[in-house]
Amino acid sequence: MDKIHFPQYLKKTNWIWTVCRHHHLLQIFRLQLLRQIYCLLVRIRLILIYFLFSPLQNQFVFGHFERRLGKLESQTWENHLALGTNQFPFIASSGIPDFSSVGALVSDDGILGTATLIAPNIAITAAHVLKNRTKDPLPNPNEWHFILHNDFESAPSNVRYSINKFIIHPDWISRQQESPPLGDGDKFGADLAIVELTNSTTVAEPVLLPNGHSLLVGQKIYVAGYGNLVDGESGTQNLGNSRRMAGENIVDRVVQEIVMSSNTVSESGGLLAFDFDSPSGNSNRLGSEFEGFENLPIGKSDSFPIELEASTAEGDSGGPMLARVNDKWRVFGIVSYGSTDSTYGDITVLTRLNNHLNWIRTYLPAWPSARMVNHSGWLESDWFGFFRRYSSGWNFHAELGWFWSAPKADDSVWIYLNHLKWLWTSRDAFPYLYSYTDGDWLYFKKDENTEDKWQVYHFLNSHWSNYLN
């Protein structure tokens, strides 16, 4: 794991240089002359776009151009589509994540990003999808929709969710508001935004946050998004995609903390990254034979791709990096930027969510990972069962009866149960509960003969008792 500290440098940016700055392949190869020529050509092209196609300019600038998923030349798009939509043979399981929580974030004027549901009414995405340039205004939520469907263009109205508000990470905003602007927060991992839906959704189960769990270099991960498509070897592009595609890769870099400081601000974040290996093994850009990329130090990386290896490019911005840790699928990173157009050798850099959990939790409801049951008022937790929330922290469990929980309960919770007093349990511990009063672990076993009765085993005294809700 890496930790980086360095002072900020102040640099004025405008929208043309911002776009140019995100083409980092030139930095990898260190061809300064080609870099200058390329950036000049990009500036000329963008100027022409600005003057000739001004009504369309936001579609090019917001979100760093249209993004694409890159695949191996030997693979078919049908496999990546089946993976992204959890069709056979990629049914959601212990080996394949459920992508139904991944949706398209679409504006009225055609801006496209990807966002992931982390609570029934909350999704998370990249800040640059909403406010990329320094002078961009804050987005108007009334002009956007979050679409939870395999194909956002053909999605029915009942999976198109209006947006109540956006909350962009404060470090992203503060850097843009400095005079002169300090540039984006993507290089140190602050490219995050919260999307609060007007109404909660019942069509998908929110994905779990890391909650203290960490990724390791070498772990298998999955990414998903709605961007355009490109073959990794030929560069052939499909610009008309509106479907959710997914791919897999291996974590190549984990930067636990990057601290940036100046006379006026001090900010910290973290990064995750992986590269797009070619079948020939000659495009291992995060391998030890290449210099470190941006704030990603020199390290090791596998040279050859796995079966459904993929990259992201600038169009799957805001999409999730999913991995299975402790038998649960969790979102560990949000796609921020890449080095090329998804051809072999492309590097994908993501904002590391572990660095921002306290900020994210500020905007989460109680029991964020619980799924709403048909707007009935009942919630279904994948580990705690069915319950209803009431005011002042009180809840009614379908089997345990009335209990009180902390307002932000999710993966672990203190509860107050009748004569058993204060108990603690968690996703990993339940149906074992720890008694604060007795200093004892309890095991809850449903009584098969009585609907509302539990048998409780007390480990301290090695005896059974009954709990009636």
Number of Cβ atoms within 10 Å of the Cβ of 184: 24
- DSSP states of 387-412 as a string? EEE-GGGEEEETTTEEEEE-TT-SSE
pLDDT tens sequence across 253-299: 999 998 877 656 678 899 999 999 999 998 999 998 888 888 898 88
**What is the Cβ-side half-sphere exposure of residue 280, based on CA atoms within 13 angstroms?**
7
pLDDT tens sequence across 229-241: 888 998 888 777 8
**Domain boundaries defined on the chain:** 2-361, 371-468
Q: How confident is the model at residue 199 (pLDDT cuts 50, 70, 90)?
A: very high
CA atoms of 337 and 189, how far apart (whole Å): 10
CA atoms of 206 and 209, how far apart (whole Å): 9
Q: Which tokens is 379 given?
A: 């919630």
Bridge partner residues of 145 (DSSP): 106, 162
CB 420 within 8 A of CB 410: no
pLDDT tens sequence across 323-382: 999 889 999 999 999 888 889 999 999 999 999 999 999 999 989 999 888 878 899 998
**pLDDT, position 453:** 79
Specify which of 3-12, 14-23, 296-305 reaches the highest per-range mean pLDDT.
Answer: 296-305
CB 185 within 8 A of CB 191: yes
Q: Is the pTM of this model over 0.85?
A: no
**pLDDT, position 183:** 67
What stretch of H or E contains 20? helix 15-21
Q: Which tokens is 357 given?
A: 């959990």
Q: Which tokens is 25 given?
A: 């392949």
CA atoms of 338 and 350, how far apart (whole Å): 9
CATH topology of domain 2-361: Thrombin, subunit H (2.40.10)
Read off the pLDDT of each residue in 34-57 and give the average, rounded to a whole number: 40
Which residue intervals of 25-149 are DSSP H helices? Answer: 25-29, 32-52, 57-61, 77-84, 127-130
CA atoms of 396 and 224, how far apart (whole Å): 36
**pLDDT, position 61:** 30
Nearest to 57 by CA among 136, 125, 146: 136
Sign for the CA dihedral angle at 80, 85, 87, 91 comes to positive
C-alpha dihedral, 432 to 435 to 441 to 446, nearest 10°? -40
Nearest to 104 by CA among 282, 243, 292: 243
What stretch of H or E contains 359? helix 357-361
Could you give the C-alpha distances from 138 to 55, 89, 360, in angstroms and in order?
Answer: 19, 42, 19
Helix (H, G, I), strand (E, B) or coil at 254: strand
Q: How confident is the model at residue 447 (pLDDT cuts 50, 70, 90)?
A: confident
Peptide bond before residue 181 is cis, with ω within 30 degrees of 0: no
Specify which of 145-159, 263-277, 382-396 reaches the highest per-range mean pLDDT.
Answer: 145-159
Q: Percentage of the chain surpassing pLDDT 70? A: 82
Q: How confident is the model at residue 15 (pLDDT cuts 50, 70, 90)?
A: very low
Helix (H, G, I), strand (E, B) or coil at 292: coil
What stretch of H or E contains 332? strand 328-338
- DSSP states of 169-200 as a string? -HHHHHHHHSSS----SGGGT---EEEEESS-
Peptide bond before residue 180 is cis, with ω within 30 degrees of 0: yes
Category of 169 on φ-ψ map: left (φ > 0), alpha (ψ -120 to 50) or beta: beta
pLDDT tens sequence across 73-103: 999 999 999 999 999 999 999 999 999 999 9
Could you give the C-alpha distances from 79 to 90, 192, 242, 307, 390, in angstroms and in order?
Answer: 9, 30, 16, 10, 44
What stretch of H or E contains 122? strand 122-125
Q: How confident is the model at residue 186 (pLDDT cuts 50, 70, 90)?
A: confident
pLDDT tens sequence across 95-130: 999 999 999 999 998 889 999 999 999 999 999 999
**Mean predicted lDDT score pLDDT of the chain:** 82
Is pLDDT at 422 greater than 50 in this prediction? Answer: yes
Nearest to 25 by CA among 15, 44, 39, 40: 39
Q: How far apart are the first and last CA of the chain?
A: 47
Task: Check residues 302 and 4 and name the one with the higher pLDDT.
Answer: 302
